[in-house]
Amino acid sequence: MAAWKIAPAIVVGNTVVIHPSSSTPLSLLELAKLLEQVLSAGVVSIITGGGSDSKKLYAGA
């Protein structure tokens, strides 16, 4: 599902920051490993964690 969201953003030249569900982060981390081999560093960033970490991310802190 994440690939459907990542691909259009990359095609038009954007970078992507994704915060996966805390219950299923491994599939997205594996996708990021594959993308890292093809794309430049920093094009796709994965932020893992939950609770207070995600609250800080969305609050802009």
pLDDT in tens, 5-60: 888 998 999 988 888 877 777 888 888 888 888 888 888 888 877 656 555 555 55
What pLDDT was estimated at residue 54? 54
Q: What is the pLDDT of residue 47?
A: 83
Domain ranges of the chain: 14-59
pLDDT (0 to 100) of residue 59 = 57
pLDDT of 52: 60
pLDDT for the residue numbered 22: 75
Does the predicted TM-score (pTM) go above 0.75?
no
| Cα 31 from chain centre | 9
- For residue 28, what are the contacts with CB-CB under 8 A and spacing of at least 6? 2, 18, 20, 46
